[in-house]
A and B are shown apart, each in its own frame.
Chain A
Amino acid sequence: MSNLLEVRGLTKHFTARTNWFGRPVSFVSAVDDVGFDLAHGETLSLVGESGCGKSTTGRLVLRLIDPTAGSIRFDGRDITRLQGSALRDLRREMQLVFQDPYASLNPRMTVYDILAEPLMLHGLVPPAKRKARVEELLGLVGLRASHARRYPHEFSGGQRQRIGIARALAVEPHLIVCDEAVSALDVSVQAQVLNLLKDLQARLGIAMVFIAHDLAVVRHISQRIAVMYLGRVVEIAPAAELFAKPRHPYTRALLSAIPVPRPNAARQRMILSGDVPSPIDPPAGCRFHTRCPFAVDLCRQKVPQMEQTAAGHSVACHRWRELPEAAPLPVESAGEGAARLARLQARFTEVSH
Chain B
Amino acid sequence: MSELAASSPAAAKKPAREDSPTRRAFRRLLRRKGAVVGLVVVLLFVCMALLADWIAPYNPTEADWSALRGEPTLEHPFGGDELGRDVLSRVIYGARASLFAGVISVLLALAIGIPVGLLSGYAGGVVDGVIMRFTDAMLAVPFLILAIAMAAFLGPSLANAMIAIGVAAAPIFVRLTRAQVQSVKVEDYVEAARAIGNSPARIAFRHILPNIWPALMVQSTLTIASAIIAEASLSFLGLGQQPPEPSWGSMLNAAKDYMSDAPWMAIYPGLSIFLVVLSFNLLGDGLRDALDPRHRD
The answer to whether A151 touches B21 (Cβ under 8 A) is yes
Q: Tally A-B pairs: CB < 8 A.
A: 76
Q: How far is the CA of A91 from the CA of B191 in the complex (A)?
A: 12
Known A-B contacts A106-B207, A149-B15; the reply to A92 vs B189 at CB < 8 A is no
B-chain residues with CB within 8 Å of residue A91 when the two chains form the complex = 195-197
**B interface residue count range (under 10 / 10 to 19 / 20 to 34 / 35 or more):** 20 to 34
Q: Does A110 contact B (CB under 8 A)?
A: yes
Binary contact readout B199-221 vs A (1 if CB under 8 angstroms, 0 otherwise): 10000000100110000000000
B residues whose Cβ falls under 8 Å from a Cβ of A: 15, 17-21, 187-189, 191-199, 207, 210-211
A202 an interface residue at 8 Å Cβ cutoff? Answer: no
Stretch in A95-103, A231-239, A248-256, A301-309 touching the partner: A95-103
Evaluate contact between B192 and A104: CB separation under 8 angstroms.
yes
Inter-chain CA distance A171–B197, complex, in Å, is: 10
Cβ of A105 under 8 Å from chain B: yes
Inside 8 A of B187's CB, which chain A residues have their CB?
103
How far does the Cβ of A174 sit from chain B's closest Cβ, in whole Å? 15
Set B18, B188, B197, B198: member contacting A92, Cβ < 8 A = B197
Task: Indicate whether A62 reaches chain B with its CB closer than 8 angstroms.
Answer: yes
Q: Which residue of B lies closest to A108 (CB)?
A: B210
Question: B69 → chain A, closest Cβ, in Å?
Answer: 56
Q: Does A154 contact B (CB under 8 A)?
A: yes
B286 CB to nearest chain A CB (Å): 21
In the complex, chain A residues whose CB is within 8 Å of the CB of B188: 98-100, 103-104
Chain B residues lying within 8 Å of A104, measured Cβ to Cβ, are 188-189, 191-192
Give chain A's interface residue range (CB within 8 Å of chain B): 20 to 34
0/1 interface trace, chain A 74-100, chain B, CB 8 Å (1 if under): 000000000001001101100110111
A64 at the interface (CB under 8 A from B): yes
Q: Which of B17, B196, B210 contacts A121 (CB 8 A)?
A: B196
Task: Spell out A's residues near B (CB within 8 Å).
Answer: 62, 64, 85, 88-89, 91-92, 95-96, 98-100, 103-110, 117-118, 121-122, 146, 149-151, 153-154, 164, 167, 170-171
Q: In the bound complex, what is the Cα–Cα distance between A122 and B202 (angstroms)?
A: 14
Please, which residues of chain A bring their CB within 8 A of the CB of B192?
Answer: 96, 98, 104-106, 164, 167
Q: Closest Cβ of chain B: how far from A281's Cβ, in Å?
A: 26
